[in-house]
Structure 1
Amino acid sequence: MASQPTGKLSLFSLTAMVVGSMVGAGIFNLPGRFATATGPFGAIIAWAIAGTGMYMLARVFQALAEKRPDIDAGVFAYAKAGFGDYTGFLSAFGYWLGSCLGNVFYWVLIGSTLGRFFPEIFGDGSSATAIIVSLVGIWAFHFMILRGVEQATFINTIVTIAKIVPLIVAVLAFIFFFNYTQFSENFFGGVGMPEKTLVAQVRDTMLITVFVFLGIEGASVYSRYAKTRSDVGSATILGFVAVTGLMVAVTLLPYATAPRAAIAGVSNPSLAGALELVVGHWGAVFISIGVLISVLGAYLAWSLICAEVLFAAAKSNDMPKLFAAQNRNRVPANALWLTNIVVSLFVISTYWSRDAFNVMLDMTSVTALLPYLLVAGYGVLLARRGTGYETTPHERVRDQIFAWIAVVYTLFMFFAAGPKYVLLLAVLYVPSTILYFWARREQKARLFAPAELIVFGITLLAGAIGAYGLATGLITP
């Protein structure tokens, strides 16, 4: 964050940033989302694909941190370095927008968690009362961060530790009540499994795996505050390994304690319901408290990241200079204001959504894919060119293979998402071009290079198709 003095973040702090960003809302919804789609067999395949793809992406982040230490503005800066100004802008806007949508999802999850105990008031998290409570929370956090982030980062560190405890307790409970016979019955879906191919089962789990891995780039976003530059890559890998193990356990172990259909039928957050099936009502209460702590902590972390992304993009001339302004507490106030206005508008829009919970989860996942794809693509370019590999030429082939696998993985994720979410994403991207025009005009710079004009044309066409789909009802959020 802008108010952190340069060189203050240790390896532990950077790793905590990765873990704190990744362990948020998604992990508490893995049992139900997976059980709805598949059994343990499909889940194992899904995690093998997601784990491999995201590990390769983590290795790309590590390589870029080591080979291009001069690029320290975060994820979007790699896209700009590799593919030009407009693509860099799209990456910055997409990453910021995805962070905003993730924050909306957090508030929907808070509402649905409270709805477990007060169903008539909070419902599924998109009732009028839930939306009002969310708006109060958004602006309470907003004014706390405006006062300075020293207290905010301290809270984030405490919360990161506190929210791991319910997850570990749940895992230990599932291990204690592990029933091999139940696990075997569920292995290929068990009783009541919808008839669909294994490929379809795996595809239906893919977007939530992207969602729970969001935050893997947390150390990269704050890279310029690292005591040692190499710690950025190390923190990314350490955070990835720790959180992946926890997520796989939370997904697979419930299959050994209850029928798949029962797990699929619990309300969100599904980990609370899955634990309740095993130990009784106190399990749901315990996990729900953990969810509220975890989500509020993750919301704080992502609020900081949202503002940092806009601030860094403005400092590097990819966004209007307005967002580079800081208040007397050295907080990027204008960036924070725009972020929370957008988050508030999306929260209000959930009132008209048929399934706000999963729509926001899936939209957040899809929005993150473009920045990730561009990072992986830049990893390929860098290894092919040999930039930064002058003293380690033997690493070029390895890093290029890793980057190519990450490219293929992110493209597969777009396929898994399907055209609906890609078109909805384009609808959100088109108005963002106003910010790009604004920034280019401030710099008196050319709007588009020839290749960028083609990218803009494709974005405009996809946005028009998406808008038409929404207007005619062919696409429903």
Structure 2
Amino acid sequence: MASDSTQKFSLFALTAMVVGSMVGAGIFSLPRTFGNATGPFGAIIAWCIAGGGMYMLARVFQALAERKPDLDAGVFAYAKEGFGDYPGFLSAFGYWIGSCIGNVSYWVLIKSTLGLFFPVFGDGNTVVAIVVASIGIWLFHFMILRGVQQAAFINTVVTIAKIVPILLFILILFLFFKAEMFSANFWGGVGMPDASLFDQVRATMLATVFVFIGIEGASNYSRYASKRSDVGTATILGFIGVSTLMVLVTLLPYAALPRAEIAAMGQPSMAGVLEAVAGHWGAVFISVGVIVSVLGAYLAWSLVCAEVLFIAARTNDMPRLFARENRNKVPAAALWLTNIVVQIFVISTYWSRDAFALMLNLTSAMSLIPYLFVAAFGLLLARRGETYETRPQERSRDLIIASVAAIYTVFMILAGGPKFVLLSALLYAPGTLLYFWARREQGKQVFNTTADWAIFAVAAIGCIAALIGLATGYIAI
């Protein structure tokens, strides 16, 4: 997996990486997630904001892949290059821990899917569900340790397998489209609490980030690309294809069922919608698709998590321990830490009221910091004119694109609310211990600049505030 002699990826394989990374748990949960928050009008506005912002971010990834081909260590390489060692570490750590939490959401969704047929699994956070998920975590762990040499091939096959039920869901809902139902739901629907349009849209924001996570899938494996330009092309192609699927999966249920009925469904709500429209076979069909999709996404993201730690250790951003590979060329230490963290979070879901929503929102909040650094680095390059000796006419365009991407990312962080900002700090502050460890190994001063100290102080204060909030009940999970 991490060997430099690995076979190069084609444009199709890289695009499948993007699609496979993005189409995981989130898309199967969209009907209820949006049904709880808003009607079709609010959903359309939310997708315009999210799609526009994420498209700009995808364009930044595309530009950076072409203008900074030497930065092939993944999403966090841009933060280190533009803003220094500690921001680079925070980006790597945030991306890694966010991906770990995303993996937890996969297990929760698998168990809640089984809960549709076996009540003992409940909503994915019962004792039985946690035990079964724990067994699954370590089965995957030891399978990967033995070497997954055909990861890209496996991902491509699984991507095709999980797109089929989504396409069938969309086709069936087109056939059952009721214009009068869509109209009745359009402004909010009957039997739902009143909320301003702003609050409706705001309630969907972290969910939209979650389903777009993976847009950087090609960048994570950019050093394996047959052609560097394929990285940007794969990012845009994957973004367009998945965005279309997500918008249709969100809007079509409003034309089949009352919003209140959609909002009351269990997860994965796509299964509930298809069951209500087409019968019980629909729930079974979507549930099988969910399990295939999520297990495939879990494999892909387990590889990503280990790869992020491994590359960060090779570039001296993480302790050297995580740069070690076993005889099968798998970064074993990185994989062990990843799955220990996943296991801890899976156990923690027992105390959560809505484990899937919590993991979804926390994953989004953690991922926004690395995305912000990417947008800010693109903005920095364009402002300085660095790398624009070639095609200088693109500089103004790239400046606008990166500015919009940065503004969008900051807006999303704020839209998530103080709860998830504080919970992010609760992870970032103690995570800095890994940075201390790495700097001590290298005999370097921990923080080089006043800005580094200031960033750490903000994280530490946020961590303390989060602990107080959890202890007092101000922050509920």
Aligned to 1:365: 364
**2:23–2:211 contact (8 Å) kept in structure 1:** yes
Cα-to-partner distance string for 1:287-308 (whole Å, 9 max, x where unaligned) = 0110000000000000000000
User: How far apart, CA to CA, are the structure 1 residues paired with 2:354 and 2:167?
Assistant: 29
User: How far apart, CA to CA, are the structure 2 residues paired with 1:79 and 1:297?
Assistant: 29
Aligned to 1:285: 284
**1:21–1:301 contact (8 Å) kept in structure 2:** yes
The one-letter code matched in structure 2 to 1:92 is: A
**1:380–1:404 contact (8 Å) kept in structure 2:** yes
Aligned to 1:83: 83
User: How far apart, CA to CA, are the structure 2 residues paired with 1:349 and 1:4?
Assistant: 37
User: How far apart, CA to CA, are the structure 2 residues paired with 1:118 and 1:30?
Assistant: 23
1:164-179 superposed matches below 5 A: 164-179=163-178
Aligned to 1:109: 109
The one-letter code matched in structure 1 to 2:79 is: A
Look up the SS of the partner of 1:268 in the other structure.
coil
Deviation, 1:153, is 3.6
**1:156–1:301 contact (8 Å) kept in structure 2:** yes
RMSD: 0.9
Aligned to 2:459: 459
TM-score (norm 1): 0.99
User: How far apart, CA to CA, are the structure 2 residues paired with 1:339 and 1:44?
Assistant: 37
1:115-194 superposed matches below 5 A: 115-119=115-119, 121-194=120-193
Aligned to 1:19: 19
Aligned to 2:55: 55
**1:7–1:226 contact (8 Å) kept in structure 2:** no
1:308-327 superposed matches below 5 A: 308-327=307-326
The one-letter code matched in structure 2 to 1:14 is: L
Aligned to 2:413: 414
User: How far apart, CA to CA, are the structure 2 residues paired with 1:327 and 1:7?
Assistant: 19
Cα-to-partner distance string for 1:30-56 (whole Å, 9 max, x where unaligned) = 011101111110000000000000000
Q: State which drifts further: 252-261 or 94-103.
A: 252-261
Cα-to-partner distance string for 1:177-235 (whole Å, 9 max, x where unaligned) = 11111111111112112111000000001111000000000000000000100100000
- The change in CA–CA distance for 1:151 and 1:72 in structure 2 (over 3 A counts) is closer
Deviation, 1:7, is 5.8
Look up the SS of the partner of 1:167 in the other structure.
helix
User: How far apart, CA to CA, are the structure 2 residues paired with 1:93 and 1:232?
Assistant: 23
**2:17–2:152 contact (8 Å) kept in structure 1:** no
Does residue 347 in structure 1 map to residue 346 in structure 2? yes
Cα-to-partner distance string for 1:72-104 (whole Å, 9 max, x where unaligned) = 000111001111100000000000000000000
Aligned to 1:220: 219
**1:3–1:149 contact (8 Å) kept in structure 2:** no
Aligned to 1:390: 389
- The change in CA–CA distance for 1:4 and 1:155 in structure 2 (over 3 A counts) is farther
User: How far apart, CA to CA, are the structure 2 residues paired with 1:150 and 1:454?
Assistant: 43
Look up the SS of the partner of 2:123 in the other structure.
coil
Aligned to 2:73: 73
Aligned to 2:204: 205
TM-score (norm 2): 0.99
**1:3–1:329 contact (8 Å) kept in structure 2:** no
Aligned to 1:379: 378
Cα-to-partner distance string for 1:402-436 (whole Å, 9 max, x where unaligned) = 01101111111111110001101101111111100
User: How far apart, CA to CA, are the structure 2 residues paired with 1:19 and 1:472?
Assistant: 41
Deviation, 1:21, is 0.3
Deviation, 1:152, is 4.0
User: How far apart, CA to CA, are the structure 2 residues paired with 1:243 and 1:460?
Assistant: 37
User: How far apart, CA to CA, are the structure 2 residues paired with 1:32 and 1:354?
Assistant: 16
Aligned to 1:229: 228
Aligned to 1:273: 272
Look up the SS of the partner of 1:29 in the other structure.
helix
Cα-to-partner distance string for 1:127-180 (whole Å, 9 max, x where unaligned) = 011001101111111111111121444322211110001000000000001111
User: How far apart, CA to CA, are the structure 1 residues paired with 2:3 and 2:451?
Assistant: 37
Structure 1 stretches of 5 or more lacking a match?
none
Structure 2 stretches of 5 or more lacking a match?
none
1:236-275 superposed matches below 5 A: 236-275=235-274
User: How far apart, CA to CA, are the structure 1 residues paired with 2:4 and 2:272?
Assistant: 40
**1:61–1:233 contact (8 Å) kept in structure 2:** yes
> How many residue pairs get matched?
476
